[in-house]
Copies of this chain bind each other. A is one copy, B any other.
Amino acid sequence: MAKDRGAHNEQACKQVDGEMTRFFELFGKRWTGLIVAVLTEQGAYFADLRRAIPGISERMLSDRLTELATAGLVVREVDAGPPLRVAYRLTDAGKALEPALKELSRWAEKNLPSGGEGCPEQFRG
């Protein structure tokens, strides 16, 4: 780090950019990203979403879907049935996230080992 000190002085006043902040305001919350990831495959009923995401509660799923709808990424549609059911699908804005999610998935495959919390760099093979 010491050799970076000149550049560091400029860095000291910098703030994280607005786009990243807006992105992680929405997605830096538990479950939000997984809900969108499931919906990129296709629209789903509430119960399917709950089943697809192990550990999510009904309340959390409902709150996150409301946030995603408010942000314009998800739409809610009532299927008159019977049985009457509520389906969710991505808007065009939501669908436009798919390439980035695929890239994150590839990154995770390479860089976040499954089974556990990951492993500090010095212990890797």
A contact set with B: CB distance below 8 Å: 1-2, 4, 7-8, 11-24, 26-34, 37-38, 41-45, 48, 51-54, 69-73, 75, 77, 79, 87, 89, 91-93, 96-97, 99-101, 103-112, 114, 117-121, 124
Given contacts A23-B104, A108-B19, contact A120 B72 (CB under 8 A): yes
Contacts of A69 in B (CB 8 A): 120
With a cutoff of 8 Å between Cβ atoms, the chain B residues found around residue A43 in the complex are 1, 4, 8
Q: For the complex formed by this chain, how many copies does it contain in all?
A: 2
Bound together, the chains give a CA A23 to CA B13 distance in angstroms of 29
Question: Please, could you name 29 A-B residue pairs with CB atoms under 8 Å apart, sorted by A?
Answer: A1-B77, A1-B89, A2-B79, A7-B42, A11-B41, A11-B42, A14-B48, A15-B51, A15-B53, A16-B34, A16-B37, A19-B104, A20-B101, A21-B34, A22-B112, A23-B107, A24-B30, A24-B33, A28-B29, A28-B32, A70-B118, A70-B120, A72-B120, A91-B121, A93-B121, A96-B111, A100-B103, A100-B104, A103-B103
CB distance from A28 to the nearest CB of B (A): 5
Select from chain B the residue with minimum beta-carbon distance to A7.
B42
